[in-house]
Every structure is written in C-alpha cells, then in structure tokens.
Structure 1
Amino acid sequence: MTDRLSAQLLLTGYAQGIFPMAESREATQLHWFDPAQRGIMPLENFHISRSLAKEIRRADFTISTNRAFRAVVEGCADRDETWINGPLFALYDDLHAAGYAHSVEVWQGADLVGGLFGITLGGAFFGESMFSARKSGSKIAIAFTVDRLRQAGFSLFDTQYITPHLASLGGIEIARVEYRARLAKALLQNADFTAPEIPTPQLLVQRTTQTS
C-alpha cells in the first residue's frame, strides 16, 4: 500500500511482475497486485472472429497511436467503478512523456470511439485498460495493438487478468511462475512500439488470419 509512487518505482514493480491499482477513483492510496494466475494475450494465437474481420474490413474508422493518450486513459476511467485514480493519472502522464506508456486510438471522424493504453519495457507490453464507445471499438483497438506488437518485436502482451471479452480473442491465464519466466525473457529483448507503420484494415486482417 502506498500513496507516493514514482514513475521509476512503478517501472521497477512491472519488471518484478507486480502492478498497482487503486480501490476506486476517490482513493488516494495504491495497492500492489501479484495474482497467482496472470492474464496474457498470446501474440501467436490471437483470434479474430469472422464478424470482427468483416467489421474491420469495412474500414469506417481510422487508427492512430499516441495521438490522444490522456483522452484514452480518461475514456478507460469513465465508468461507474474504476481503479484509475488521480495518482495513477499523473503516473501514466509521466510515463507517456518519458516514452514508456503508449496508446492506440480508434476514431470515427473527429470522435474518439475506442482505444487502449499500456506500458512497455523491453519486449513486454503491459496492457492497462481499454474502452469502447462504438460497437467493437475495444476489439478493433486490441487487433491493431497485437499486430503492432508482432511487427515491433514484442513477445509478451500482459493483460493482468482475463475477462470473457479477452478470452473471446484468445486471452488465457498462466501460472505466476510461468508468467515471470516469460517476463524475464521479454525484458531482455529490444522492441519499439512506435516503429511500425499502421497497416490498412485489409492488411491487418490478412496478417492476423495467417498467424492465428
């Protein structure tokens, strides 16, 4: 439990396999979590349904990265209950400014209708949260994020926990000891979240179908 956490200490915690959350948006203290079963999205086994592939091919949206980081975090926290409190907002801002925190945005015209954000260390991407303001907005964001992680040289997509939403896309749970072994390997890798170009929706579906 802590109410004073620096960006560097947060990164140190991630490198050790733990992550902080608040009990509510009004809470001032943060708690470290180290679940016995850890959620991950296997990059080599990402599942895209026919209906989602059809929706992506429709291409009635645009994708960007790091264009509206704070807005994505705010979208993720805009729900009845959230673990993102004031101190975490500030920490995520600091990590984004330092190049460790990134976002993927889904737009319809000028409207932000979906997105996700996470933190990177080596070849590990620690997915923090996602939101959707249109049908499949968060699924579209995940699909483009998985493709980006593959192209950029990442090997671990940590989702912390598994929800039915994530499980439908191929997310699984692994034991803490296996997670930490995967994390140790990922931290030794070099990967750059900002390097890949954003693919066309058609190319994304093609690449996902070939590797899933």
Structure 2
Amino acid sequence: MLTLTKLDKQLIFPPADIALIEPNGLLAFGGDLSPERLLLAYSSGIFPWFSQDEPIMWWSPDPRGILPLEHFKCSKSLKKFARNCDYKITINNAFEQVIDICASIPRNDSGTWITADMINAYKNLHQLGHAHSVEVWNENILVGGLYGIIVGKVFCGESMFHKATNASKLAMLALVELLKSQKAEFIDCQMQNPHLATLGCIEIPRSKFLTQLAEQSQQTFEHGVWQPQTLNLKQWL
C-alpha cells in the first residue's frame, strides 16, 4: 500500500512515480515554499497545490497535461483579432498585478488555491528570475495575462485571467510564439481541462513527461528573453 510522504527541512522529494492514484498525483505534504524547494519540485515534475488552511500538498499527476507548441490551436478569428486589435502585449511588466488578479478571480473548480503564501513565494521567484508573466493591455488597463515558472526551456504554466474577450488567449498566443522562436517544445499545463483542450493541450503519460522535462531542463533561453519588454506579436502572425 502506497503511503503519503511527509516532507521535513531536507530538500528532497520522493520519486514522482510513487504518487497516489487517488487523488491522482498526490505525492507528499509539508515542507515549505522556499525558492530552492520550489525549483527542485518543478525540475522534478512536481508542483504545489493546496487551499487556504490546508498543509502544503505536492502533486505529480498521471497523465500529465502539456501543450506542444506546434499543437497550439489559434483560430482564424483569434489570429484576425490579434492582427487588428490595439492591445499591447508585454513580458514581466506587471508580474505582481497578474498573480494578484489571478488569485482574486473566482474559480469554479479550484477555489482560492493561490493563497497569500503562494503569492509571496512566486513573487520571490520572480525577483530571482525564475517566474515570468505575459500581460495584455488596453491602453493602460491590464485586461489579461498569465504567469508561470521556467525550467530550462519549459514554461510551467500556473494561472491566467482575462477581463476582456480574447485577452488571455492573446497572452497564450504571444507566449507560444515567443517560446517557438526560442526552439522550446512544450508548455507544462499540469492537468488538462476543457478550456486548455480547446487551445491544444493534450495528456501524456507521466513517465514520458518526466523524460521530456529532463531533456528540456538542460536547455537555456537566449540572454535577455525574459527582460521586461513589449512584444510585437504581429511579426509572428
């Protein structure tokens, strides 16, 4: 019978392949949200997910949801919208705003899992250069965005939001095109859901994901890719 591992102060995780079948992927609990532990977790195919007043819980589900960049589904209407709209798309210009908004938007399926501790931990990772955001602006108003963690050339997506039609899809389109320009291969979506499936997210066995993650974690992006900047999305369309 598989048992759930309780983490202590040691920076170590059990192998992802011993995670529980039910609930799918629950691997361990406890520990902390230090940058060192979070980076070790993501590089091992593990991520934290828990609600307020719960212990920190660590997951590695099987199957795993990923978005192969070549599979991204950009509809004709979205491409036309991207070409014609006046929205500005930036990188790392408003990381704190993005994660704060993602935490405040009601979620039907996941509640308020972006807790205050999680927010502080990922803001810390951002300051250290490991967490990044894509923002969509209507003039000076932030209307959409997403954020995630980088492991080598893998973007581990955490959350996204929109306050205007197509805003989060524009953020995803910009991220996909940026990653493709850097010869990355996929985005880690953690778990597939109906919305992500419409964008091209698929499920693969955890073992295959871990192999691909290990390969891509040895790669690096070009210098300056994640510097705060405005993206010219139209150059890729």
**1:166 counterpart = 2:192:** no
Counterparts of 1:27 and 1:148 in 2: how far apart (Å)? 37
Identity of paired residues, percent? 39
Residue 139 of structure 2: which of 109, 114, 117 is its match?
109
Residue 122 of structure 1: CA displacement?
1.0
Match of residue 122 from structure 1: 152
TM-score normalised to structure 2 length: 0.81
Contact 1:156 1:183 in 2 (8 A): no
Counterparts of 1:9 and 1:156 in 2: how far apart (Å)? 23
Match of residue 43 from structure 2: 15
Cα deviation 1:69-115 (Å, max 9, x = unaligned): 01000111112322111111111011001000000000001110000
Residue 206 of structure 2: which of 176, 180, 196 is its match?
176
Distance 1:83 1:29, change over 3 A: same
Q: Which runs of 5 or more residues in structure 2 are unaligned?
A: 1-28
Match of residue 27 from structure 1: 53
Match of residue 6 from structure 1: 34
Counterparts of 1:63 and 1:159 in 2: how far apart (Å)? 21
Residue 188 of structure 1: CA displacement?
1.0
**1:187 counterpart = 2:217:** yes
TM-score normalised to structure 1 length: 0.90
One-letter amino acid of the structure 2 residue matched with residue 66 of structure 1 = N
Counterparts of 2:121 and 2:212 in 1: how far apart (Å)? 25
The RMSD of aligned alpha carbons is: 1.7
Distance 1:82 1:158, change over 3 A: same
Contact 1:3 1:28 in 2 (8 A): no
Once the two structures are overlaid, the 10-residue window that deviates more, 104-113 or 77-86, is 77-86
Distance 1:196 1:89, change over 3 A: closer
Match of residue 78 from structure 1: 104
**1:202 counterpart = 2:230:** no
Counterparts of 1:45 and 1:85 in 2: how far apart (Å)? 32
Partner SS for 1:168: helix
Q: Which has the larger radius of gyration?
A: 2
Cα deviation 1:123-168 (Å, max 9, x = unaligned): 1110111000000111110000011111233233101111222111
Match of residue 98 from structure 1: 128
Counterparts of 2:183 and 2:37 in 1: how far apart (Å)? 25
Contact 2:88 2:230 in 1 (8 A): no
Contact 1:28 1:86 in 2 (8 A): no
How many residues are aligned here?
203
Contact 1:28 1:85 in 2 (8 A): no
> Which structure shows the bigger proportion of residues in helix conformation?
1
Residue 199 of structure 1: CA displacement?
4.6
More relative contact order, 1 or 2 (CA 8 Å, 6+ apart): 1
Counterparts of 2:191 and 2:113 in 1: how far apart (Å)? 13
Counterparts of 1:124 and 1:200 in 2: how far apart (Å)? 22
**1:151 counterpart = 2:181:** yes
Match of residue 48 from structure 1: 74
